[in-house]
Amino acid sequence: MSPEASQPNLDPTPLPNGEPVLATRSPLTPARLPGRTSLRSLAIGVGIGLVLAVIGGRLLAPSAPAESADGEAPVAAAGPRAATQTVTVAEAEVTSVQRTLAATGTANAFELLPVTAETGGLRIERVLVDEGEAVRAGQVLAVFDSSVLRAQRQQAIASVQQAEAGLAELRAGARVEERARAQQAVRSAEAGVAQARSDLELVEKRVERNELLQAEGRSPKTA
């Protein structure tokens, strides 16, 4: 604005009748600046846009889950949980380890050494030593019952008697023509008698030997 425009207009304005009229002093209305109006409108528009954006974001955002009674926000529900493995933990510490373990099982020997007594049909009646006990040569270890041998001897005697009786019956009752046909039966009966006598002799020897060894205090063996 020029200096002339800022000063009041003091020039007299002639009237139609020729009398001059003095103009009164009045301030001039300043002219509006178009640049300031545009900036103010832009600032107002930006502010309104920000307010609308904030309000729209609040409306469109999902509602937050309500807090629980103790002030902790609840955990959102998830899908099916995977199986978890439960472990037990402990602090490392120095301790003693037991070197023995009590268990039930079967113990197998590293090397098998069979120890058998040749009893020859005898039954052990008494054992005079304990397992692991030191013994000396000739010491009586056990007492055998010879009743089994005596029963075998009686059975052998009965077999001999039966075989001899059958042989005598074949020889006495058969006629001459029958003896030829019964010759095979006679030979079989004679063989049975011989076998029965042999068994009887063997049993008698074993009985006598067992009784003798028991009297001397030694363990018998099979003849």
Give pLDDT tens digits for 165-174.
777 777 776 5
Q: How confident is the model at residue 8 (pLDDT cuts 50, 70, 90)?
A: very low
Residue 143: inside a domain? yes
Residue 31 has pLDDT above 80, yes or no: no
Structural domain total, the chain: 1
Q: Is residue 47 part of a domain?
A: no
Q: Are 11 and 34 in contact (CB under 8 A)?
A: no
Sole residue written with tokens 């005596």: 150
pLDDT in the model for residue 1? 44
Inside any domain, residue 70:
no
> At residue 12, does pLDDT exceed 60?
no
Q: Is residue 69 part of a domain?
A: no
The proportion of the chain whose per-residue pLDDT surpasses 90, expressed as a percent, equals 0
Residue 208 domain-assigned (yes or no): yes
| Residue 96 in domain | no
Band (219; pLDDT cuts 50, 70, 90): very low
Tell me, yes or no, if the pTM score tops 0.75. Answer: no
Query: Cα(115)–Cα(112) distance, rounded to whole angstroms?
Result: 10
CA–CA distance, 125 with 214 (Å, rounded to integer): 12
Within-domain flag for 14:
no
CA 212, CA 207: separation in Å to the nearest integer? 9
Q: Is there a domain that residue 148 lies in?
A: yes
Structural domain range at position 209: 123-216
pLDDT at residue 38, as a whole number: 73
